[in-house]
């Protein structure tokens, strides 16, 4: 015979699972590390524009924006970002542009990047980036449309 305590435990476990499921699907507007809340895996977003390549940021030069810690290679880069964060921040909160175009999110490889019309786009890896580059304009249009809905989840 199954006891009432078993059913209470089962109900509590189900409620707990539902609560966890809700948080699993919550999308943070900024893709950041689990520990430390660092955006762009610690890379300097300004460097993509000024140096034309990914450059690791330093713990010495940081700026807090949209609930994330952004790292920079220099005080000048940090100050430029602080003045115009939207100009330098990656599109779609730093998630993979291809994934957002497909209606979801994915992490990024800071080495898989491209600046298009003055905006920084990142991809999961270089193989995904190759696919994204084949039809970039269409993927950007889809991602632009999908992003507001993804962030609301």
Residues 16 and 74: their CA atoms lie apart, in Å, by 45
Length of the chain: 153
pTM > 0.85: yes or no:
no
Classify strands 113-116 and 58-65 as parallel, antiparallel or unpaired.
unpaired
Structure tokens, 74: 């220099």
48 forms bridges with which residues in the sheet? Answer: none
Write the burial class of residue 46 (CB in 10 Å: 0-12 exposed, 13-18 middle, 19+ buried). buried
pLDDT in tens, 51-93: 999 999 999 999 999 999 999 999 999 999 999 999 999 999 9
């Amino acid at each position: 015979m199954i006891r009432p305590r078993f059913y209470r435990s089962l109900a509590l476990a189900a409620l707990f699972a539902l609560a966890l499921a809700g948080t699993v699907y919550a999308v943070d507007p900024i893709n950041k590390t689990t520990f430390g809340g660092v955006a762009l895996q610690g890379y300097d977003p300004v460097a993509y524009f000024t140096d034309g390549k990914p450059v690791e940021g330093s713990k010495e030069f940081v700026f807090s924006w949209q609930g994330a810690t952004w790292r920079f290679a220099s005080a000048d880069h940090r100050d430029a970002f602080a003045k115009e964060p939207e100009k330098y921040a990656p599109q779609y909160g730093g998630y993979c542009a291809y994934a957002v175009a497909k209606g979801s999110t994915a992490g990024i490889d800071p080495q898989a990047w491209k600046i298009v019309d003055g905006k920084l786009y990142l991809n999961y890896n270089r193989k995904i980036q190759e696919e994204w580059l084949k039809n970039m304009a269409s993927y950007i249009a889809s991602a632009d449309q999908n992003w507001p809905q993804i962030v609301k989840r």
